[in-house]
Amino acid sequence: MKVLVSDNISSKGVEILKNAGLSVDVKTGLRPEELKAIIGNYHALIVRSATKATAEIIEAAKNLKVIGRAGSGLDNVDKTAASKRGIVVMNTPGGNTITTAEHTIAMMFAVARKIPQANASMADHKWEKKKFMGTELYNKILGVIGLGNIGGEVAKRAQGLGMNVIAYDPFLSEEKAKSMGIGKVEIPELIKRADFITMHTPLTGETKGLVNTKTIKTMKDGVYIINCARGGIINEEDLYEALESGKVAGAALDVFEKEPPENNPLVGHEKVVCTPHLGASTQEAQENVAIAVAEQIVDYLIHGTIRNAVNFPSIPADQVAILQPYITLAEKAGSFASQMFDGEITEVALEYRGEASGLNTYPLTIAALKGLLSPVLEETVNFVNAPFIAKERGIEVKETKSSDAGDYNSLVTIVLKSPRKKLAIAGTLFSKKDPRIVKINMLTVEIIPEGDMLFMYNNDKPGVIGNIGTILGKNSINIARMHFGREKAGGRAISVVNIDAPVSEKLLAEIKKLPNILDVKVINL
């Protein structure tokens, strides 16, 4: 079998592939048209971040069985297109955890002590001691947004420096936080109390623009902001204004909304330390991920074993055709529920009814957990680590089965619980293959779970639908489809709008102000 390595990886990874008897071609720097022309000859593709495995490339990959990413992020791989073609997509979670955590701490020191600026001054043969007065990290409050693998390692190192760590993570239990010596808080309190704020979450509808003019106003004067996670979590224009006004004393940025950044005023700003997405760029990390992805490719192509797949659990080949539609349903329902639910989750209950109750439901439960955890955790959640991540965060997972599915042939229900509230999302398959969400709590709906959506709680009053359509139309956002459900005429209702383009923070704020709109959430599937 043939393997194409299209980005630079450690030679140790290439050696593993060749020693297993695989034919390996290393061709880096390919243009999209060049990759498309040759990809049909290969059974496996190994990438880092440069190669874009788009839907067009995947369509041309007639023999491709697996795509392996030497690293954790998969923004450059069209996972949906790969899944439709039955191509397994793997990554190497954890391979860059330590190096990214260390880079975060290094950036924190650099911005607090103005090290790059002082170095540049010295290189210019100046001696400006007073100009570069710094700030100690000792005894300061560090606010960690997202306490996954990387956030957790940052917290440990900060505690070793004598910092007081507080953290927000929707899946972090009080017991777990206490055992780590960390104060568990909600985001508004974290932003208000912290002297240093560091981001360790994925970029989602909820985290996009999390740091903005409104949230910055509630921060301490002289706060420091660090982002080694994802560009877009910080509104860069708002951060620039806060730096200019002195509200924010300094920022350390390894990631940007557009990379490489062009004409970005933050780059070169006297209060900003910038690096070109170096979080995972150490010799050790690159060697680790190259070895890991090579071993995973060998295991799959030679032995048929799937490890660290982000789009497929390990299940017997003869069950794939039956379980795959249910796996897709469970994952999408889990992601939908996660993006609707606010706050700590202490229990996840999976209910399988009708035809689903007779299946091997373990892969479905894992898929639901993957969908649930992925939107809010920085590290990549896959079909291997999802149960362990849930357990680490003190989430109790339960399963029940029943042959009675009511009006449906099959029903999969995910119930999220916290000490104060509960949310139930039920889904089924149309034509035995197309996932639908058919119930939200007690409300009957029929939602196609895909793409960008606006989910709204509203009063069932005339004009609501017209107002939504009008405001989206004025902003050139096309409505793909709309779904509705209500308790009773004139009562509480829900409206779900599938849209063809993302909604900006400004437009979202305008929608929230429409008459009879009670709450709005952006959901992306």
In a domain, 440, yes or no: yes
**Residue that terminates a domain, selected from 312, 330, 358:** 312
Between residues 142 and 320, the one the model is more confident about: 142
pTM comes to 0.71
Name the band, by pLDDT with cuts 50, 70 and 90, for residue 382. confident
- What pLDDT, on the 0 to 100 scale, is given for residue 379? 61
Same structural domain, 3 and 50: yes
- What pLDDT, on the 0 to 100 scale, is given for residue 308? 86
Beta bridge partners of 497: 454, 482
Model confidence pLDDT, tens digit, residues 94-119: 788 899 999 999 999 999 999 999 99
In a domain, 397, yes or no: no
Model confidence pLDDT, tens digit, residues 176-205: 899 999 999 999 999 999 999 999 998 887
Same structural domain, 119 and 80: no
Between residues 406 and 241, the one the model is more confident about: 241
Q: Residue 108: which residues within 8 A CB-CB, separation 6 or more?
A: 137, 158, 196, 198, 224, 226, 252
- What pLDDT, on the 0 to 100 scale, is given for residue 314? 65
Name the band, by pLDDT with cuts 50, 70 and 90, for residue 412. very high
Same structural domain, 114 and 58: no
Same structural domain, 157 and 74: no
Same structural domain, 112 and 197: yes
Omega cis (within 30) before 170: no
DSSP string, 319-358: GHHHHHHHHHHHHHHHHHHHHH--S---EEEEEEEEGGGG
* Span of 88-92, 302-306, 381-385, 452-456 with lowest mean pLDDT: 381-385
Beta bridge partners of 496: 455, 483
In a domain, 324, yes or no: no
Instruction: Give me the domain span that covers residue 211.
Output: 97-274
How far, in Å, CA of 254 to CA of 199, rounded? 11
Please choose, from the candidates 172, 179, 150, the residue with its C-alpha nearest in 3D space to the C-alpha of residue 390: 172
- What CATH number is given to the structural domain containing 194? 3.40.50.720
In a domain, 6, yes or no: yes
Please choose, from the candidates 464, 479, 476, 480, the residue with its C-alpha nearest in 3D space to the C-alpha of residue 507: 476
Quick one: average pLDDT of 360-374?
Answer: 92
Q: Which sequence positions are flagged as catalytic?
A: 230, 259, 277
- What pLDDT, on the 0 to 100 scale, is given for residue 317? 58
- What pLDDT, on the 0 to 100 scale, is given for residue 439? 93
Same structural domain, 236 and 251: yes
In a domain, 332, yes or no: no
In a domain, 80, yes or no: yes
CA angle 272, 276, 279 (to 5 degrees): 100
Name the band, by pLDDT with cuts 50, 70 and 90, for residue 442. confident
> Of the spans 220-224, 366-370, 395-399, which averages the highest pLDDT?
220-224
Task: Please tell me the total count of domains within the chain.
Answer: 3
Same structural domain, 129 and 179: yes
Name the band, by pLDDT with cuts 50, 70 and 90, for residue 316. low
- What pLDDT, on the 0 to 100 scale, is given for residue 253? 98
**Residue that terminates a domain, selected from 274, 290, 325:** 274
DSSP state of 408: S
Same structural domain, 53 and 126: no
Q: Is the pLDDT of residue 505 over 90?
A: no
Question: What rounded mean pLDDT belongs to the chain?
Answer: 91
Model confidence pLDDT, tens digit, residues 24-76: 999 999 999 999 999 999 999 999 988 999 999 999 999 999 999 998 778 79
- What pLDDT, on the 0 to 100 scale, is given for residue 378? 63
How far, in Å, CA of 410 to CA of 325, rounded? 12
- What pLDDT, on the 0 to 100 scale, is given for residue 525? 86
Q: Is the pLDDT of residue 312 over 80?
A: no
Question: Is residue 217 classed as helix, strand or coil in its secondary structure?
Answer: helix
Quick one: average pLDDT of 245-271?
Answer: 95
In a domain, 400, yes or no: no
Same structural domain, 221 and 299: no
Same structural domain, 439 and 471: yes
Same structural domain, 45 and 127: no
How far from 391 is each of 171, 376, 517, CA to CA, in Å? 10, 16, 37
Same structural domain, 227 and 298: no
In a domain, 180, yes or no: yes
Name the band, by pLDDT with cuts 50, 70 and 90, for residue 486. confident
